[in-house]
């Protein structure tokens, strides 16, 4: 049934629905790991630190959960299961790892669903965010890179994690010193998932020519990215929360400077430094370390630079406005 549904969508995409392909690719791109992280980073740096922190907690929780479920289930992509499935070639670049559950759907549930379920979000924005959240999983089906069950489970689990992130933020409001135990719990979970992904056996199937269909170690790359991001976030978050304490209560001009400077640094790190680390160290350790540094930059290094450069003047200027 799931393959038949994808075949119907594929026929529609290759026929009368071809005009929708570019739009669905754009929707899908917004929910890619690095794009959604960059958007949340801007919210954290420039718009609202509290909401940004909540989204980052949820994003890292969802990446860990996605990484765990993917290597636990080891479900092949639709075109591996059935040769009649021909995914959109542009979408294939971001279709990494095993198929279940959909990482894009979980990212969409984090970014769009997280804002939608946030208690302080205005109703019109809630509606828009919910619609975007639903568009993301449909786009993955439309491009035939995921089955319906992949995206449904991804969206539901993603939303549940966001509700959990809200509860954690509420707990921190009441018990600020719980931050250490929360950070330690997430880091311990990340290490446990890394160990599980390393030692578990992966399915080995071959095609008609005797070539292996799917390399399990390669499929686990996304899981190790999640491990690095999670350790980097909770380590950096704990330090920032206790010692740096930057604020988004700054002037508009300062926020613009943060957007440009922080975004430029993020782009350079992603495009130049992280590839050097991954290629230099190699394997899963290189993936973990590069991802850790990336998240450490978002949550701690960039805010520390903002704080050192701006000093008190940015806050004072915001108060004057």
Q: How far apart are CA 302 and CA 321, in angstroms?
A: 24
Instruction: Please give the C-alpha separations between residue 74 and each of 158, 183, 205, in angstroms, as whole numbers.
Output: 19, 28, 12
Q: Determine whether 270 is an active site residue.
A: no
Q: How far apart are CA 87 and CA 146, in angstroms?
A: 9
Q: Determine whether 104 is an active site residue.
A: yes
Catalytic option among 146, 225, 278, 284: 146
DSSP state of 111: I
317-320 contacts, C-beta under 8 A, 24 or more apart: 317/250, 317/251, 317/253, 317/254, 318/249, 318/250, 318/251, 318/254, 319/249
Catalytic option among 13, 49, 77, 104: 104
CB atoms near residue 264 (< 10 Å) = 10
DSSP characters over 114-168: HHHHSTTS-HHHHHHHHHHHHHHHHHHHHTTSS-HHHHHHHHHHHHHHHHHHHHH
Q: Which residues are catalytic?
A: 104, 146
């Amino acid at each position: 049934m799931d393959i038949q549904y994808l075949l119907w969508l594929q026929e529609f995409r290759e026929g009368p629905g071809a005009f929708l392909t570019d739009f669905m690719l754009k929707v899908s791109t917004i929910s890619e790991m690095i794009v959604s992280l960059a958007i949340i980073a801007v919210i954290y740096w420039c718009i609202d630190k509290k909401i940004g922190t909540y989204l980052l907690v949820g994003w890292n929780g969802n990446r860990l959960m996605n990484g765990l479920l993917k290597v636990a289930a080891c479900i092949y992509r639709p075109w591996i299961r059935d040769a009649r499935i021909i995914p959109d070639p542009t979408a294939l670049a971001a279709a990494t790892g095993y198929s279940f559950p959909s990482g894009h759907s979980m990212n969409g549930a984090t970014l769009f669903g997280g804002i939608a379920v946030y208690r302080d979000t205005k109703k019109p924005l809630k509606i828009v965010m919910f619609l975007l959240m639903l568009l993301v999983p449909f786009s993955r089906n439309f491009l035939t890179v995921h089955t319906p069950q992949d995206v449904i489970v991804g969206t539901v689990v993603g939303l549940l994690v966001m509700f959990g992130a809200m509860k954690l933020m509420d707990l921190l409001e009441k018990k600020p010193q719980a931050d250490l135990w929360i950070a330690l719990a997430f880091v311990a979970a990340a290490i446990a998932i890394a160990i599980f992904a390393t030692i578990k056996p992966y399915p080995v199937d071959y095609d008609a020519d005797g070539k292996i269909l799917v390399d399990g170690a390669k499929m686990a790359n996304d899981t190790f990215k999640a491990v690095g991001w999670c350790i980097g976030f909770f380590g950096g978050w704990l330090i920032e929360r206790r010692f740096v304490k930057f604020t988004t209560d700054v002037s508009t001009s300062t926020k613009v400077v943060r957007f440009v400077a922080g975004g430029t640094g993020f782009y350079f790190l992603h495009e130049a430094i992280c590839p050097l680390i991954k290629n230099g160290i190699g394997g899963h350790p290189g993936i973990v370390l590069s991802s850790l540094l990336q998240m450490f930059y978002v949550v701690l290094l960039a805010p520390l630079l903002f704080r050192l450069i701006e000093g008190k003047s940015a806050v004072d200027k915001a108060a004057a406005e």
